[in-house]
Amino acid sequence: MPRTAFARSALTQIASAFEGNFKATEPLAEQLLNVARPRMMSTVARIEGSGLLRMMGPGSAMLAQRSTVLGGASAVAKSCGCPCGRVACMGACSTTGASVRHLHAHPNPPSDPEQALEYLREGNKRFVSNKPHDQHPTRNLDRVKATAGGQKPFAAFLSCADSRVPVEIIFDQGFGDVFVTRVAGNIVTNEITASLEFGTAVLGSKVLMVLGHSACGAVAATMAGAAVPGVISSLYYSISPACKKAKAGDVDAAIAENVRVQMEQLKVSPVLQGLVKEGKLKIVGGVYDLATGKVTEIAEAVKEAPKEAPVEAPKEAPKEANTSFIWSFFGGKKQQRA
């Protein structure tokens, strides 16, 4: 499809999706197209052949154009020539000489996985001490506008779905800082793995944390083996390995062990495993205390080296039985072997 036709079709879709107060018409799409054409062409050229459009759909890219029309942050520096390469960056950056600051990224992006993890540690310390960032740099309306055209989270999470575990808050982060997946029992599924592969390999998160929490009902129910309604018991299959490793009745130990089990499950992904080997990603675990707000990091399970089987002493060859008396009984002689 020609790029102009593609852009017009996509804008028609976004007009229909986001202009709920009035009818989306061809003139409206044409108006949006005239405003957005310069950045649209460069963005389409950048991502059209990458396959990302099939993954994301046109909505994410078009949302940035909607922000431009509304005068959002992505309207500034339209000709910035941003080398970001992210889907729907759409010029949401500013340039100073040779340097580029991505407005949709963290104000001080971590340089490596260890620094990204340190950001999370510092954020949780602020939360626990009840001293969050004053005038938080990524938790305001300006940040909302800046991230409307793209996202560049520095951390990704697999968290439990418990309503008492709001990841962004307990790590004192804001809009666009963390990429969060949540499911009861913080278990790994194909959908979770796919989402986290996207958050790390495509969006660039440098640290991936599996986050469990104290008094987890999913783990407790699995350990008890209690009857539950609907398909809730389908969670048991993924959590039961951790319960088997913990002592009977020790829910806290099972919660920590479940974090380790899910960490290992994520490492089965060739994408995540490759990022770890390249030093671009760190997979860690933690348990959030519902009573104190503190996140305690969980060390990986130490894999014991396989024990060598004891070397048995060579067995003596069985002695040949003396059967000469049998031959004598039958009046013959024992034949000698060649």
**Tokens at 95, concatenated:** 């340039």
Dist. CA 33–CA 254, nearest whole Å: 55
Beta bridge partners, 287, equal 212, 296
Dist. CA 258–CA 326, nearest whole Å: 70
Max mean pLDDT among 35-44, 55-64, 82-91 falls in: 35-44
pLDDT for 87 beyond 50: no
Q: Region 274-302: what's the mean pLDDT? A: 93
Q: Global pTM? A: 0.62
Q: In this predicted model, what pLDDT tens digit does every residue of 1-17 receive, in sequence order?
A: 555 565 556 555 654 55
- Helix residue ranges per DSSP H, 48-204: 52-56, 58-69, 113-128, 141-146, 167-170, 190-197
pLDDT for 267 beyond 50: yes
Q: In this predicted model, what pLDDT tens digit does every residue of 23-40 receive, in sequence order?
A: 444 455 455 445 444 444
- The response to whether 84 counts as a known ligand-binding position is no
Lowest mean pLDDT among 80-89, 163-172, 279-288, 326-335: 80-89
Q: What is the dihedral of CA 215, 221, 222, 223, to 10 degrees?
A: 70
Lowest mean pLDDT among 74-83, 188-197, 301-310: 74-83
The confidence score (pLDDT) of residue 241 equals 97
The confidence score (pLDDT) of residue 314 equals 54
pLDDT for 118 beyond 60: yes
Q: In this predicted model, what pLDDT tens digit does every residue of 47-57 receive, in sequence order?
A: 444 444 343 33
Q: Region 143-150: what's the mean pLDDT? A: 90
| Domains recognised in the chain with CATH numbers | 3-102 (no CATH), 113-298 (3.40.1050.10)
- The response to whether 80 counts as a known ligand-binding position is no
- The response to whether 177 counts as a known ligand-binding position is no
pLDDT for 191 beyond 70: yes
- The response to whether 216 counts as a known ligand-binding position is yes
